[in-house]
Chains A and B, each alone.
Chain A
């Protein structure tokens, strides 16, 4: 492994000089020698970057590289005085003490977790804390609605400003956030992982809007894990690693060398982003036939339309589908009818039919489901690592009296900490203190502890960094090698192609295709994920 980091490192001093000679306010933002320390940790170490006017500037880096901290310094969340270095905005030194001051200057952050209130309408959300008031401080709703309509039009949304946020999809909510930023006369828009919850279509809409804003003179800073997206839209890229600037350079959208970014991010080449693996599938372990599930909220709407699929021992099967295609709903309804209204279909485990009416039964039959969204569905954030590890199979740590044995709990947790390489100070530490990748490993530990034969993983690598992804893939392959049947649900096609042995595509609750991963391409999968074939495809063996 070469020390690429040394070669590609741009000495900040050089950059600094370059900027000092630039006289014209070519840069809307310059951050110079920013250092931010927390007790015990230097989160930012002499970070220098410059953002050209009307650019889309991407910031990449693994989790913990300092991206979010840098943006917090910029927006005044970490107020002036708690960091060293200087920030020049439109050529002037700025000293923001809080978000209000940075917003007044036209810098708006849109966080990964959207900050909209579901019960309130679009207009109420957009003008929250910024109300359009007439005389006597009374809100002028007519004016607010008119302005909202105008803003929504600018972001390409043609819906009633009175619509409650909860009725919008995530993509539309993202656009409302941007409209809200526009209402504050945004000049520099910061988007933190803007597409993490969007499907490809919504993401494309978002990128078009960003390009549109760019033409109107709004500069965007975009933090993202998704390098293909960065490659599409970015005009410049800054890569952070361990709180330092590794590289910052302009690019031409569409002609970005993704491998170069990856090398800089991780300090190593990831030619092989997916570990190589020879699979040796055995007999069919798990099979679902004609699975039919109704939406619990919308009577008559089918979430699963006669889905049939099977998994062999030692096989990793991918489920590809756009968000909302019914992948998660299928998995959760199979997993002890945790979601949806069961209408029909059968499950065969090791060839014999099985009725699962509760999650408990599913676990007892050695089926594990690692949910998507670990913070909402996977973890009790108040628990510590050891309590989480054993939570899905408490019987496994009980003494003959039926009481939990604290020593068994500890040794089980220690065992899985070692097996999965969970980096934590101790198993007594709260899961909320761990990084995303380690949290995901704790969730995995929780679902491996019941010793499943069938393991369903729903978006197992979302929101975790490249290195941790690699480790998760390795763990999945090792589980398959032990003869477990693995089902992997993912939105990332390269990941499915790289890890799965066989892939099913799902579109609007129906299986629309099945092919060995070796024969599949992203284009072919995407076609099947977006097309409903009228004739049901041959699915059974």
Chain B
């Protein structure tokens, strides 16, 4: 962009940024600078800095924590244990991975009903071919992933090129691929290459166990018969992974803040950011300590590592790449996206391709975990994945949803499964409860985001400072957009700014100065 461009483009005398000076955006250089508001306003500002992007996005995380604590209490401490968390991850990785792909499908405005059947078809075909042709495990995996791409291309072709809605295309897949599974397997379970079994049931290498046990770390109890120490010790690799994640998180957060400060001179206050880092680090640290402190020979599951990598990669894809932006653009307004240079068919095609690739990966991992590719492999998984996406705040109409939100949604389902089974609730009642939770979560979301309704933090702010919230002139969130996380947050920032700009003031700015 040439720099001489449009220095003159401002039609009016530059607006004196009445907005940026509003008290809510002050904290640029820490709380010392935030003397503008009352103490209570500062508290509100602190909270909003600590939870960027709107408090509302955190409600599901809070619900998740509350659920865990509830089950911990009701089950007399059986919930938050190393073994239970290891089981939780191992038993739900497949749904969580599917949910990542499903999120993208739903954001782009479609749905994929065939992922369970696709996973089943890939698992069975891979196991059958490996057995029939004595393929080594890595060739078998490549064959499986290749089949996933082929299925994705098939779905993508009918959706993007022929124009059949995703619901119909994948309904055909749900029925057809399941038939193919039974056809190929002759209704008999087939074992996969043994390496897959080891990988899918393995965990991070158990280094440093005896050393830490000799230091008196880790939980106590009866370990293996020949375990000489009183304590279990720790899986140091698991612990190191947790520390690495904490460091990476702190580094990127602080670096982002300093770049924002340098670029615009405005950033969340340092104290709030630090408080946030401490809180998040504590949670991550605790979870990984839990995984590390289990019985000797256990640690963070390898499938969990796969999941973490996928979450990171897809978080970046959806938030930081042009392709990710295209998904949201097409889901938000297809016609406008097409006029903006986004190829709508290409976006559809790639999203479906990706979905089936992930489904294939899930089929392979699950076949390994259960050490058999059986005809009903993947039955009903699509529904769990879809539920996770919607509990995680995505909109049915497309355009809204995040990978991280979806993971939280999936974890809510996972914790419900695990907690209810700890309490001895049967799978029949568990399903009823899960159905109700899906309804309640989405209903709560819609209630929260309806036009003009304030977030919790907005209400607190109002009580503190007497500032009032948005009018319908400033917050006309379209009704159809009110289904999920990430809709316009009408939090304290906007409220403060309304007070800054009155219609009369706007008019003054509009009036051309004729000389």
User: Which residues of A line the B interface, CB within 8 A?
Assistant: 1, 38-41, 43, 64, 242-243, 266-268, 275, 332, 335-336, 338, 358-360, 362-363, 369, 371, 376-384, 387, 391-392, 394-396, 398, 402-404, 406-407, 410-411, 414, 418-421, 423-426, 429-430, 432-433, 435, 446, 448-449, 451, 467-468, 470-471, 474-475, 478-479, 481-482
Contacts and interface: CB of A to CB of B under 8 A. Distances in A.
Nearest to A387: B325
A430 B340 contact: no
A360 B329 CA distance: 14
Nearest to B53: A428
B316 to A, nearest CB: 7
Contacts of A369: 339
A482 B5 contact: yes
B400 interface: yes
Tell me the interface secondary structure of chain B in the complex: loop
Contact of A43 (B20, B340, B471, B477): B471
Contact of B19 (A41, A387, A420, A426): A426
A268 B513 CA distance: 11
A381 B488 CA distance: 10
Given A381-B478, A433-B476, A420 B333 contact: no
A430 B10 contact: no
Contact of A411 (B256, B264, B487): B264
Given A41-B498, A410-B263, A377 B343 contact: no
22 contacts: A38-B473, A39-B469, A40-B468, A332-B339, A371-B336, A376-B333, A379-B333, A380-B336, A382-B328, A382-B333, A404-B325, A407-B263, A419-B7, A420-B11, A426-B20, A430-B477, A451-B1, A451-B2, A451-B5, A471-B510, A479-B6, A479-B9
Given A359-B338, A371-B339, A421 B12 contact: yes
B259 interface: yes
A40 B399 contact: no
The winner among A39, A402, A426 for most chain B CB atoms within 10 A is A39
Interface stretch (B83-91, B163-171, B500-508): B500-508
Interface in B469-515: 469-478, 481, 486-488, 490, 493-495, 497-499, 501, 503-504, 506-507, 509-512, 514
Contact of A382 (B9, B476, B481): B481
Contacts of B333: 376-377, 379-382
Contacts of A449: 1
A459 to B, nearest CB: 14
B337 interface: yes
Contacts of A362: 341
Given A394-B322, A433-B477, A64 B503 contact: yes
Given A359-B340, A418-B14, A396 B510 contact: no
Contacts of A267: 507, 511
Interface string B319-347: 11110110011001101111111110000
B336 A41 contact: no
Contacts of A380: 328-329, 332-333, 336-337, 399
Contacts of B341: 336, 358-360, 362-363, 392
Nearest to B397: A382
Interface of B: 1-2, 4-12, 14-15, 19-20, 22, 25, 256, 259-260, 263-264, 316, 319-322, 324-325, 328-329, 332-333, 335-343, 399-400, 467-478, 481, 486-488, 490, 493-495, 497-499, 501, 503-504, 506-507, 509-512, 514
Given A64-B473, A380-B337, A40 B488 contact: no
Given A423-B509, A426-B493, A406 B256 contact: yes
Contacts of A414: 264
B15 A423 contact: yes
A432 B451 CA distance: 12
Nearest to B475: A433
A38 B399 contact: no
The winner among A242, A394, A446 for most chain B CB atoms within 10 A is A394
The winner among A275, A376, A429 for most chain B CB atoms within 10 A is A429
Contacts of A470: 11, 512
Contacts of A383: 328-329, 332
A432 B316 CA distance: 26
Given A38-B471, A423-B501, A478-B8, A404 B493 contact: no
The winner among B5, B22, B341 for most chain A CB atoms within 10 A is B341
Task: Please list the 3 inter-chain residue pairs (A to B) with the smallest Cβ-Cβ separation, ordered nearest first.
Answer: A38-B471, A430-B488, A380-B332
Nearest to B481: A382
A448 B329 CA distance: 19
Contacts of B472: 38, 43
Contacts of B486: 382
Nearest to B477: A432
A241 B339 CA distance: 36
Contact of A40 (B340, B471, B504): B471
Given A1-B514, A433-B475, A478-B11, 17 more contacts: A38-B472, A40-B469, A40-B495, A64-B473, A266-B507, A380-B332, A380-B333, A382-B481, A407-B263, A418-B14, A421-B11, A426-B20, A430-B487, A433-B470, A433-B474, A451-B2, A482-B6
B487 A402 contact: no
B10 A421 contact: yes
Contacts of B7: 419
B474 A407 contact: no
A39 B472 CA distance: 9
B336 A376 contact: yes
Given A363-B341, A382-B487, A430-B477, A398 B256 contact: no
Contacts of B494: 425, 429, 433
B343 to A, nearest CB: 7
Contacts of A448: 6
A380 B322 CA distance: 15
B488 A420 contact: no
A419 B19 contact: no
B263 A41 contact: no
A363 B339 CA distance: 10
A247 B478 CA distance: 33
Nearest to B5: A482
Contacts of A360: 341, 343
A128 B208 CA distance: 75
Nearest to A62: B507
A394 B320 CA distance: 10
Contacts of A419: 6-7, 9-10
A377 B340 CA distance: 9
A526 B81 CA distance: 80
Given A1-B511, A403-B321, A426-B493, A432 B332 contact: no
Contacts of A451: 1-2, 5
Contacts of A471: 11-12, 510
A242 B472 CA distance: 15
Nearest to A471: B11
Contacts of B514: 1
Contacts of B322: 394-395, 398, 402, 404
Contacts of A396: 1
A47 to B, nearest CB: 14
A39 B325 contact: no
The winner among B260, B325, B476 for most chain A CB atoms within 10 A is B325
Contacts of A358: 341, 343
A403 B10 contact: no
Contacts of B8: 478, 481
Contacts of A275: 512
A382 B256 contact: no
Given A381-B332, A382-B481, A425 B497 contact: yes
Contacts of B11: 420-421, 470-471, 474-475, 478
A363 B342 CA distance: 11
A282 B40 CA distance: 61
The winner among A275, A332, A425, A451 for most chain B CB atoms within 10 A is A425
B471 A382 contact: no
Contacts of A435: 473
